[in-house]
Structure 1
Amino acid sequence: MTTDAQWETHPVTPDRFEDFADVINRNRRPTHCWCLSHRLTAAEIVELGGDCEDQRERAMRALCEREHPPGVVTYLDGEPVGWCNIGPRSEITRLNRSTLMLPTDDLPVWSIVCVVVRSGFRRRGVSHELIEGAVAWAASRGAPAVESHPVDPKGRMDLTMAFVGTRAMFERAGFEVVGTTDATASKMPRLTMRRTLT
Structure 2
Amino acid sequence: MSTEVRPADASRFEDVAAVLNPGGNDRACWCLSYRLAARDNGALLGERRADWVRDLCGHQPAPGVLAYVDGQVAGWCGVSPRDRYARLVRSRTIRQLDDRPVWSVVCFVVRPGYRRRGVTHALLRGAVEYAREQGAPAIEGYPVDPGGERIQQAAAYVGTTSVFEAAGFRRVERTQAVSDRRPRWLMRLDLNGPG
TM-score (norm 1): 0.90
Q: Which residue of 2 aligns with 1:139?
A: 132
Count of residues in Structure 1 that have an aligned counterpart in Structure 2: 191
Measure how far apart 1:159 and its partner are.
Answer: 0.6
Q: Which residue of 1 aligns with 2:123?
A: 130
Q: What is the CA-CA distance between 1:6 and the residue it aligns to?
A: 2.0
Report the secondary structure of 1:161's partner residue.
Answer: helix
Q: Greater CA deviation, 139-148 or 102-111? A: 102-111
Alpha carbons of structure 1 residues 51 and 106: separation in structure 2 relative to 1, 3 Å: closer
The correspondence for 1:115, drawn from 102, 108, 112, is 108
Looking at structure 2, the residues matched to 194 and 42 of structure 1 have their Cα atoms a distance apart, in angstroms, of 26
Query: How far did 1:51 drift?
Result: 6.6
Shift of 1:106: 1.7
Summarize the Cα distance change of 1:51–1:37 in structure 2 as closer, same or farther, 3 Å threshold. closer
Task: Say if 2:11 is the partner of 1:15.
Answer: yes
**Distance in 2, Cα, partners of 1:34 & 1:176:** 28
Check whether the contact 1:31–1:54 (CA below 8 A) recurs between aligned residues.
no
Unaligned runs of 5+ in 2: none
Divergent runs of 4+, >2 A: 42-46, 50-53
Quickly say closer, same or farther: Cα 1:103–1:42, change in 2 above 3 A: closer
Cα displacement (A) at 1:100: 1.4
Q: What does residue 100 of structure 1 align with?
A: 93
Preserved CA contact (<8 Å) 2:38 2:87 = no
> Match for residue 61 of structure 1?
54
Go from structure 1 to structure 2 and tell me whether the alpha carbon gap of 1:32 and 1:41 turns closer, same or farther (over 3 Å shift): same
Q: CA RMSD in A?
A: 1.7
Q: Does 1:161 align with 2:158?
A: no
CA distance in 1 between counterparts of 2:174 and 2:151 reads 19
- Residue 43 of structure 1: CA displacement? 5.6
For residue 172 of structure 1, what is the aligned residue in structure 2?
A: 166
Cα distance in 1, alignment partners of residues 161 and 126 from structure 2? 18
The residue type equivalent to 1:180 in the other structure is R
**Unaligned stretches of 5+ residues in structure 1:** none
Q: Secondary structure at the match of 1:124?
A: coil
The letter of the residue matching 2:111 is R
Match for residue 182 of structure 2?
188
Tell me, in whole angstroms, the C-alpha distance in 2 between the residues paired with 1:176 and 1:53.
38
Greater CA drift, 105-114 or 62-71: 62-71
Moved more, 167-176 or 18-27: 18-27
Once the two structures are superposed, what CA deviation does each residue of 1:33-76 show, in whole Å capped at 9, x if it has no partner? 11111221256559xxx976422111111211222121010111
